[in-house]
Amino acid sequence: MARMGTIANRAETLLGATVVATTPVAGGDICTSTRLRLSDGSSALVKTRPHAPDDFFTTEAEGLRWLAETPGAAVPEVLAAEPDCLILSWVDTARPSVDVAERFGRQLAATHRAGAPGFGTVSGRDGYIGTLPLPNRPAPSWPEFFATRRILPYLKLAWDRGNIAPEDAAAVEGVVRRIVDLAGPAEPPARIHGDLWSGNVLWGQDGRGWLVDPAAHGGHRESDLALLALFGLPQLPRVLDAYTEEAPLADGWEERVPLHQLFPLLVHACLFGGGYGARAAEAARSLV
């Protein structure tokens, strides 16, 4: 294993430990991830991104620490967070068993149940979703928060980038006009991950599901569950069964899944174009 000098030297300065080897980690398309092997035999993960905004990594660290305050799902320890990098404890991964999936479902319910002061971030500061700015100013209700901080900003950006057709944009706007009726029974703010697609769940060799790369905020717990379903989490039925045993969901939650999926679909339309604008419209039309 080679030692990447610049990254290793920076990590040694921040951690006060010797890096004996570095290994590139595949999978990320936003940041460069590198495994650090330290002189004490432990490992860590360092994330870097050229020309990242000054608060890019510190915002992620804030979200990880906030999620870690709960007795719920596991979260890697933040070892260092600076404008140029983020260093986390290393998670050894394995294929998820039924027992691990069920445990994760119960622990995710506990994370959500820890709650939040309101709909939005604790700090009130905006964050990031992928490489895009993420509006997080609090709102008095979840329907208002979801409409004004999640759907409309990304619908506008997708439109400005030419990534959603007029008739598809109109379908999404129709959901915004009816969102109070579509949102279901009111719930208190949940402590949610905010970007919980399957790639942001690491299945640990220790038998736990670990939350990574959050856009953490006070939101609706159904948003996390809908995103887990969007790109196919392994063992999802087991996760959902255990979750609902621990924290039953309001009637009709299955019918509201497309509502909560509008946000990530619009984000993907902004970032990748392609058919994601049409998929967002398909989700919107299914709510009629």
Q: Collapse the DSSP code of 218 into the 3-class scheme (helix H, G, I; strand E, B; otherwise coil) and give the result.
A: strand
Q: Which residues of 98-132 are buried (b: 16+ CB within 10 A; e: fewer)?
A: eebbbbbbbbbbbbbbeebebbbbbeeeebbbbee
Both structure tokens of 2: 């080679």
Q: Collapse the DSSP code of 180 into the 3-class scheme (helix H, G, I; strand E, B; otherwise coil) and give the result.
A: helix
Q: How far apart are CA 195 and CA 198, in angstroms?
A: 9
Task: Reply yes or no on whether 195 is catalytic.
Answer: yes
Q: How far is CA 200 from the centre of its chain?
A: 7
Q: Collapse the DSSP code of 267 into the 3-class scheme (helix H, G, I; strand E, B; otherwise coil) and give the result.
A: helix
Q: How many CA atoms lie within 13 A of 109 on its CB side?
A: 17
Q: Is 151 exposed, middle or buried (0-12, 13-18, 19+ CB in 10 A)?
A: buried
Q: How far apart are CA 182 and CA 72, in angstroms?
A: 29
Q: Collapse the DSSP code of 184 into the 3-class scheme (helix H, G, I; strand E, B; otherwise coil) and give the result.
A: coil
Q: What is the helix (H) or strand (E) element at residue 44, kind and residue range? A: strand 43-48
Which of 168, 195, 213, 224 is catalytic? The answer is 195
Q: How far is CA 54 from the centre of its chain?
A: 20
**Cβ neighbours around 277 below 10 Å, total:** 25
Torsion of CA 260, 88, 23, 8, to 10 degrees: 140
- Supply the DSSP symbol for 249: P
Indicate which residues carry an active-site annotation. Answer: 195
